[in-house]
Structure 1
């Protein structure tokens, strides 16, 4: 996340906290008015209405994120250590490795560049509970695609990973790639 995203989160958080504070003041004022024997309903309803704004915003954000997320995409930021326990568990797990049948991979490489690709599967390797390597592959769908895809991945990974092209695999070949993650950075 960039600096602009962090500033946006801080601003939205401050606005939501402001709404909560105003709502609490209105609700406390309603309680004070009630103790004085007057009608507290207008203040109480105002407090509930103001409190509904941040609650509805957060609920909408949660529902929207669940609807728009792609569960078949493995997303990892390799600039920082990644705990294996933080990864989704709807997959096969073996000692030191998780096997995902993912359709896409979205990596932030150690140099900060982004790598996205359609894949047929992702293996995530670990040691001492931290991700150490990510490997992924894709079978070529058309004649000659393996070589082209291999060159594309190699250029996009730009030294952050290795690419291996197997032109004789299956019908049209397969491309495999591996990106190392430094669990101590």
Structure 2
């Protein structure tokens, strides 16, 4: 996120906080007016209406985030140790291995760079409750794709991982990548 995004978040947060404060002041004033025996409904409804704006904004933001997120993406930050228990359970067949039928992978590499790729599956390996390595693969869908994909992944991973091509897999081959996770504490 850039500096403009951070400023926008701060401004929106300040506006929402101001609306909450004004709404609470209006509700407090409505309570005082009611105790004096006068009609407090206009103040109370104005306060409730102002309070509804930030509540609805946050609820809409949460609902939107749930709709646009990709549940088939495995996201891992390999800069620090990852507890296996923090990952979703999905087809755990063997102790120490989680097999995900994910369509995408989004990794933060040890050097802080991001690696995003369309994949056919992800294996997360663990020992002692911590992730030790991550392997992922993609079947080539057309001639020449495996070699091109291998070069692209090697370039994007830099020295952080290894990439290999299995030309005998399927009609057009398969590319497999592997990354080692940060050591457990």
Structure 1: give runs of 5+ residues left out of the alignment: none
TM-score under structure 2 length normalisation: 0.89
Query: Residue in 2 aligned with 1:173?
Result: 173
Q: Distance in 1 between matches of 2:62 and 2:75?
A: 19
TM-score under structure 1 length normalisation: 0.89
Cα offset, 1:116, TM superposition: 1.3
Query: Residue in 1 aligned with 2:116?
Result: 116
Cα offset, 1:166, TM superposition: 1.0
Query: Residue in 2 aligned with 1:16?
Result: 16
Deviation sequence 1:33-64 (CA, Å, 0-9, x none)? 11111111111011101101111111110111
Query: Residue in 2 aligned with 1:67?
Result: 67
Cα offset, 1:117, TM superposition: 1.1
User: Cα–Cα, structure 1 residues 3 and 180, in superposed 2: closer, same or farther, change >3 Å?
Assistant: farther
Structure 2: give runs of 5+ residues left out of the alignment: none
Length, aligned pairs only: 184
Q: Distance in 2 between matches of 1:40 and 1:139?
A: 68
User: Cα–Cα, structure 1 residues 33 and 100, in superposed 2: closer, same or farther, change >3 Å?
Assistant: same
Cα offset, 1:184, TM superposition: 4.7
Query: Residue in 2 aligned with 1:140?
Result: 140
Q: Distance in 2 between matches of 1:29 and 1:180?
A: 60
Cα offset, 1:135, TM superposition: 0.9
Query: Residue in 1 aligned with 2:82?
Result: 82
Cα offset, 1:167, TM superposition: 1.1
